[in-house]
Structure 1
Amino acid sequence: MAETSIIFSDVNERQGVFSRRVFLMGGVVAFGLFALTGRLAQLQLIEGGKYRRLSSANQFNYRLIPPPRGQILDRNGVVIAGNRPSFSVLVMRSQVKDIDETLDQIAYVLPQTLLRRRAILRDINQSRRFAPTAIATDLNWEDFAKVNLYASTIPGVDVSMDEVRVYHYGGAFSHVIGYVGKISDKDLKAETEAAGDEEQLDPILLHPGFRIGKQGIEKAFDKDLRGVAGARKIEVNATGNIIAEDSDGMRPATPGEDVTLTLDAEIQQRALEVFGEDSGGAVLMNIHTGEVLCMMSAPSFDPNLFVSGISSKAYGLLRDYERLPLLDKCIGSTFAPGSTFKVATALALLQAGVDPSERVVCSGSYRYGNTTFACHKRGGHGPQNVHDAIKNSCDVYFYHMCNRPGAGPDGIARTARALGMGHIFENFEISGQKKGTIPDREYKRTAFKNDPKWHLGETLSVAIGQGYVTTSALQLCTYIARIANGKKAVEPYLVKKIGSVEKVPFKDFKDLPFSREHLDIVRAGMVAVSNDVTGTAYRNSRLNLGNIEMAGKTGTAQVRSYKGVANRRNEGIPWKLRDHGLFVAFAPADAPKYAIAVIVQHGMGGSMFAAPKAREIMKLALIKDPEMQARIIQPMPIDPSLANAPDQELTSDAPPDTIDIPTPPANPQP
């Protein structure tokens, strides 16, 4: 048996293998340490700021603070549109895992949300992921306090104490001021296009408590009124619950600019009062500057209903009411001006060379072709010159004269347009103006392809403010302001100041193309309308303010055809078939400062229904004017002729019953 032997390998060989392994493992470890060190250096030194921001974003959130909307003030600093506190509950969809569970938790605190659950879910699903959604708005203090106590324990829920728009005068300013409302998809699209792209869109536009101007001044000056949003920095835990608020990281919101108007709140309120349940509009302006002191449309509506969102039922009631409370009857409706237009016709006749002393005998009717056109006074006015024709509103005089060479439809149209009718005022701050119609031969050729020729009989209707003629209350007031001014083609405006910056009104008005002599003649006729015992508005337009007198012109605009109608009186017929009543005026008559136009829709007669309203509005404007107060306190002279003044007929300046007026231009269009 062979002996067992032990064979030893070379020690140096074993040591070499071990050394190689150690070197290899050490290299791997060293490379790992180098890579780890490099990565740590990259994270700490190079990308440290990025991850600090991400970490901070996980720890802190920023919640937008809607800015207080700028106030809208009247000319005396009275707040017309302001703000009041409003408490809301918001939910952030991106921070909520189970929206149903979240709503269940909120329902324990606010049971009323159960009734709106379906609508809330719809709003959440339609909203953008990172935009908050309002689930309860305009809470009372008790409910707000309860939600505020538990909101921090419900992920994604926040309470908000914002401001909401409030209109202190209700319907008095609803059409001219407008209102604010929730941002619609159409509004958001327009804002996105204006910003260039969605990334540049102001995030406050997605805030559920933010409101945008929808009409009137609120819309026209929305960017000025908005302000700049602020933000508050809140600390949240891993589950998204609020645990603290960082006051150092809060950025306060910047309020919007205040807008100061030329309107007077007291005069505007008075205008709404004197209209009562009647429908129509009233505009009062300074004839020298163009400042509009009153622009009221009736019936009106409460704009506060639209701030939080009006119900479809309530909106339907406003929309379907026959007197159209949503329609601005000062600029958005046009009416036939009726006999108020005769002042423009008279001025056109004088410009055409008609002798102001030339008389026309009014026997109560005028025969043209096969048609007899009746004057409103069946027995006739007797001999009438231009002064008497304005004072008595004699139709026959204007029938007889209107087609004189140099006058006719083209001459009358030139005069009416120079006085501001048939015109959109480009510097007027709010949209929605209707141009109206001041017809001439070119208009007939364009509008009536089947009968483009102007017939001389059509001039008779135009001369007394009927036929194709339509105009707005704002145009009528401007028309009278220019006549009263006598020199400049003054234009209306509404805004005095934006913030602390005075808005410089347009003062470089064009010169009027009329002679002073001719303007004096028509103004004297208007003075007689209100102050001569036989004037058509003598009883209903006298101011009784010391020695201050008003000069005016009545008008009754026909709505239906009187052909074959035995009685033109409006009693007992549907409201929509009654004539419109109009009155235009300026005061003081001897040194004009203010002009007014009043339209009473289906108000039957200018002297009985429109003139008293204009008188009350004008009286307040004069009483408030410091320049007029010294004259007002003087003793009032006794007028002995007042006791013997004859009663005025209901439709003392009504249009003739034999003219078949085209229906479409006669009624206001929404």
Structure 2
Amino acid sequence: MAEPSIFFSEVNERQGVFHRRMFLMGGIAGLGLAALGARLAHLQIIETQRYEKMSASNQFNFRLVPPPRGLIVDRNGAILASNRPNFRLLVSRDEDIDTAATLKTLANFVPLDEARQARLVKDIKQTPKRVPVSVAEDMTWEEFSAINIRAPELPGVTADMGEVRVYPYGGAFAHVIGYVAKVNQEDLTPTGPNSDPILLHPGFRIGRQGVEKAFDLDLRGKPGARKVEVDANGREVSRDEAGDIAATAGKTIQLSLDVDVQNRALEVFGDESGAAVMLDCRTGDVLCMSSAPSFDANRFVRGMTGSEYRALANYERRPLLDKAITGTYPPGSTFKTMTAMAALEAGVDPEVRIGCSGGMYFGNRYFHCHKRGGHGMQTMRDALKNSCDVYFYTVAARIGPDRIARAAEAFGLGQTFDIGIPGQKKGVVPSTEWVRKHRPRDPKWHPGESLSYGIGQGMLTVNALQLAVMAARLANGRKALNPRLIRAIGGKELKSGAAVPDLPFAAEHIQYVREGMAAVTEAGGTGYRASQLGLGDILMAGKTGTAQVRSYAKGGPRGGVGMPWRYRDHGLFICFAPIDSPRYAMSVIVQHGLGGAVNAAPKAREIMRVALLKDPELRSRIEQPLPMPELPPETETEGGVPDDPIDVAAAPGSTAAGGPT
């Protein structure tokens, strides 16, 4: 039997392979351990602070806080728009929350009808996860307390205190200031200021009209943040007030309006419809820009029901329309000042008399004067004083529409002004060129149209702001003043409305028209009775106007007396005061108000009185003591001793002498 053979070389080779593999694997394992150790050292030593912050961010979170919206104040600092505390109820979406059931439970504590609940369920579903949706605003303390007590039982529900916009003067400034409302999906943009996450916050509001809309970015401010501790699902469990980031309030917007003048304007209009605008004749500052009837802007902030909004929108006197800058009307006889200015510039002698017998024929049509019996022979000053239509028919036919249009545009009609808020309508100041562009079917100016144009009728339309600018430029007599509504933004004052070029008219012609306006408010003038201020020697100049809204040929009395409201004529009045040194100018339009002297001039008088009495210089003039009455020549001093003694008994008529008693 053969014995096995042992080959030592083969054993040694196998051991060598094993050792090499062992060293290779050990080296790889060693490198791995070294890399792991290096990484651990890097994480735990070098990046300690970074991961501490990340750990804290998992534990703490920041909730955006809306900034206080900037204030809006009047020229004297009276607050027109501010913020007040607001108890609100919020609900946010989460996977383990039955939103419909939660809202049904909340309806036991706050008013939530089924229709409102259905709308809220839809809103909450469309909102990103854990972004709260406002369910109720302006809760009472009892409602707020009841929700907070049950907070542990109501996941996703929060009752907290935020801020809401408030307008202390209600409707007086509603059209100028506008209002704020919740952010709609249409307001959000992928880039720009409207992409800021703060817009999704339920307490954030955006400007919708007027100053609130035009200066929304200035009024917004910079949002802050509230530091809170959260659980693994991101729910808030506690608050860390020390880590809060304060919000920065929005800028303060100062208007040139005067709260007392504006309030008085709304008072004098009452239930009537129209507008009043007042300007400072020296600076162009707008002291009053009122539209009536108005609406309470606070109702829009809280949220208005569909029926409430329809009631406002469908009311025939249109409270939602800003009649000061958006509504346009024929200016009526207030425009005769522009026809007179154009005539003077065209070389018409103002002292040449034109006869008025109550109307005149032009072609085959008879044009009436407002005074059926006629005014007799009239100079230009007489025609302004008496508002004689025949005089201005004649003058307008002589000078043509283009000269009248140039004068009107130079005094601010047919223009829009940079007052900072949107909504202005230019109206129409027609000319031969305008007719060619805008009346293609009949592009020729007909001579008879000049007659209506000369008395402020026909195609001509203006707004109340334009009429006030016209009156202010006439009153100033030199500068083509521009209105200034926004006085300062964040404490920085804006350019004055007086930083403008001079009017392109001879000073003596402007003075003549001003004298004609002064005659209107003198005894015998169309505006005399309604324009007396009763403020000592301070007098007011003006021009009345009545604008037709329908043809008298269609039947019914002239002016629309006794007719339905929408068929009555408009009443207008422009004025300035004091006559000797104009300080304030204004326009008043009473929609379907029958006549300027009857309805517009009395309103202008009451509004003007407030402005004059508030002016320190003019008030001191008004309050000057009356002159002492003249005393009769000196006679015997009562109780004095006569130079020569008198015998009382012998005096005629004395009882001692037996005379009569």
TM-score normalised by L of structure 2:
0.88
Q: Give, as a single letter, the amino acid of the residue that structure 2 aligns with 1:266.
A: D
Distance 2:320 2:412 in 1: 26
Equivalent residue in structure 1 for 2:411, among 396, 419, 423 = 419
Aligned to 2:642: none
1:149-188 aligned at under 5 Å gives the runs 149-151=149-151, 155-188=155-188
The alignment partner of 2:361 has SS state of: strand
Distance 1:25 1:418 in 2: 97
Aligned to 2:102: 104
1:371-390 aligned at under 5 Å gives the runs 371-390=365-384
Aligned to 1:622: 612
Deviation at residue 468 of structure 1 after TM alignment? 0.6
Aligned to 2:501: 510
CA 1:117–1:303 in 2, change beyond 3 Å: closer, same or farther? same
Deviation at residue 55 of structure 1 after TM alignment? 2.6
Distance 1:566 1:180 in 2: 45
Q: Give, as a single letter, the amino acid of the residue that structure 2 aligns with 1:524.
A: E
Aligned to 1:486: 477
State whether residues 556 and 563 of structure 2, in contact with CA within 8 Å, keep that contact through their aligned partners in structure 1. Answer: no
State whether residues 218 and 251 of structure 2, in contact with CA within 8 Å, keep that contact through their aligned partners in structure 1. Answer: yes
Distance 1:558 1:239 in 2: 70
Aligned to 1:648: none
Equivalent residue in structure 2 for 1:526, among 517, 521, 525 = 517
> What is the RMSD computed on CA atoms of the aligned residues?
2.7
Q: Greater CA radius of gyration, 1 or 2?
A: 2
Distance 1:391 1:551 in 2: 10
Distance 2:372 2:625 in 1: 40
The alignment partner of 1:543 has SS state of: coil
Aligned to 2:209: 215
The alignment partner of 1:563 has SS state of: helix
Segment of structure 1 superposing worse, 564-573 or 266-275: 564-573
1:565 aligns with 2:565: no
State whether residues 100 and 117 of structure 2, in contact with CA within 8 Å, keep that contact through their aligned partners in structure 1. Answer: no
CA 1:92–1:25 in 2, change beyond 3 Å: closer, same or farther? farther
The alignment partner of 1:512 has SS state of: coil
Distance 1:101 1:479 in 2: 60
Deviation at residue 482 of structure 1 after TM alignment? 0.4
1:596 aligns with 2:590: no
CA 1:101–1:499 in 2, change beyond 3 Å: closer, same or farther? closer
Point out which structure has higher relative CO (alpha carbons under 8 A, 6+ apart): 1
Deviation at residue 574 of structure 1 after TM alignment? 1.4
State whether residues 155 and 240 of structure 1, in contact with CA within 8 Å, keep that contact through their aligned partners in structure 2. Answer: no
Distance 1:55 1:180 in 2: 40
Distance 1:287 1:402 in 2: 29
CA 1:103–1:47 in 2, change beyond 3 Å: closer, same or farther? farther
State whether residues 230 and 251 of structure 1, in contact with CA within 8 Å, keep that contact through their aligned partners in structure 2. Answer: yes
Deviation at residue 122 of structure 1 after TM alignment? 1.1
Aligned to 2:132: 132
1:470 aligns with 2:446: no
State whether residues 531 and 549 of structure 1, in contact with CA within 8 Å, keep that contact through their aligned partners in structure 2. Answer: no
Q: Give, as a single letter, the amino acid of the residue that structure 2 aligns with 1:90.
A: L
- Encode CA deviations 1:4-41: one digit per residue, 9 max, x unaligned: xxx9x999999999978976875676455335424434
Aligned to 2:44: 44
- Encode CA deviations 1:297-349: one digit per residue, 9 max, x unaligned: 00100001111322111111111111110000000011000000001101111
- Encode CA deviations 1:547-594: one digit per residue, 9 max, x unaligned: 000001100000001125363142221111111000110000111110
Distance 2:429 2:99 in 1: 66
Q: Give, as a single letter, the amino acid of the residue that structure 2 aligns with 1:412.
A: I
Aligned to 1:640: none
The alignment partner of 1:145 has SS state of: helix
CA 1:179–1:108 in 2, change beyond 3 Å: closer, same or farther? closer
The alignment partner of 1:217 has SS state of: helix
- Encode CA deviations 1:253-307: one digit per residue, 9 max, x unaligned: 1111111111011111110000011000000110110000000000100001111
Q: Give, as a single letter, the amino acid of the residue that structure 1 aligns with 2:220.
A: R
CA 1:635–1:349 in 2, change beyond 3 Å: closer, same or farther? farther
Distance 2:308 2:355 in 1: 56
- Encode CA deviations 1:352-386: one digit per residue, 9 max, x unaligned: 11111100010011111101111111110000000
Distance 2:393 2:214 in 1: 44
Distance 2:103 2:342 in 1: 76
Aligned to 2:308: 314
Aligned to 1:646: none
1:535 aligns with 2:525: yes
Aligned to 2:348: 354
Alignment length (residue pairs): 620
Q: Give, as a single letter, the amino acid of the residue that structure 2 aligns with 1:194.
A: G
Aligned to 2:490: 499
1:266 aligns with 2:260: yes
CA 1:160–1:556 in 2, change beyond 3 Å: closer, same or farther? same
Q: Give, as a single letter, the amino acid of the residue that structure 1 aligns with 2:192.
A: A
Between the two proteins, what is the percent identity of the paired residues?
55
Equivalent residue in structure 1 for 2:426, among 415, 419, 435 = 435
Deviation at residue 494 of structure 1 after TM alignment? 0.9
State whether residues 134 and 202 of structure 2, in contact with CA within 8 Å, keep that contact through their aligned partners in structure 1. Answer: yes
Aligned to 1:586: 576
The alignment partner of 2:98 has SS state of: helix
Distance 1:31 1:130 in 2: 47
Distance 1:105 1:361 in 2: 80
- Encode CA deviations 1:158-193: one digit per residue, 9 max, x unaligned: 44322100000011000011111111222223xx44
CA 1:108–1:616 in 2, change beyond 3 Å: closer, same or farther? closer
The alignment partner of 1:585 has SS state of: strand
1:144 aligns with 2:120: no
Equivalent residue in structure 2 for 1:408, among 400, 407, 417 = 400
1:202 aligns with 2:196: yes
Aligned to 2:319: 325
1:286-301 aligned at under 5 Å gives the runs 286-301=280-295
Task: Give structure 2 stretches of 5+ with no counterpart.
Answer: 628-661
Distance 1:20 1:503 in 2: 88
Q: Give, as a single letter, the amino acid of the residue that structure 1 aligns with 2:528.
A: Y
Distance 1:636 1:374 in 2: 47
Distance 2:345 2:592 in 1: 33
The alignment partner of 1:181 has SS state of: strand
1:255 aligns with 2:249: yes
State whether residues 489 and 511 of structure 1, in contact with CA within 8 Å, keep that contact through their aligned partners in structure 2. Answer: yes
- Encode CA deviations 1:116-170: one digit per residue, 9 max, x unaligned: 4322221112223463322333222233234344546755444432210000001
Distance 2:43 2:52 in 1: 10
Aligned to 2:631: none
Aligned to 1:607: 597
Segment of structure 1 superposing worse, 479-488 or 137-146: 137-146
Deviation at residue 91 of structure 1 after TM alignment? 3.7
Deviation at residue 502 of structure 1 after TM alignment? 2.3
State whether residues 556 and 604 of structure 1, in contact with CA within 8 Å, keep that contact through their aligned partners in structure 2. Answer: yes
Distance 1:29 1:282 in 2: 91
Distance 1:344 1:281 in 2: 21
Deviation at residue 48 of structure 1 after TM alignment? 5.1
Deviation at residue 50 of structure 1 after TM alignment? 5.3
Distance 1:274 1:175 in 2: 17
Q: Give, as a single letter, the amino acid of the residue that structure 2 aligns with 1:604.
A: L
Distance 1:420 1:178 in 2: 25
State whether residues 99 and 121 of structure 2, in contact with CA within 8 Å, keep that contact through their aligned partners in structure 1. Answer: no
Equivalent residue in structure 2 for 1:633, among 623, 630, 650 = 623
CA 1:166–1:224 in 2, change beyond 3 Å: closer, same or farther? same
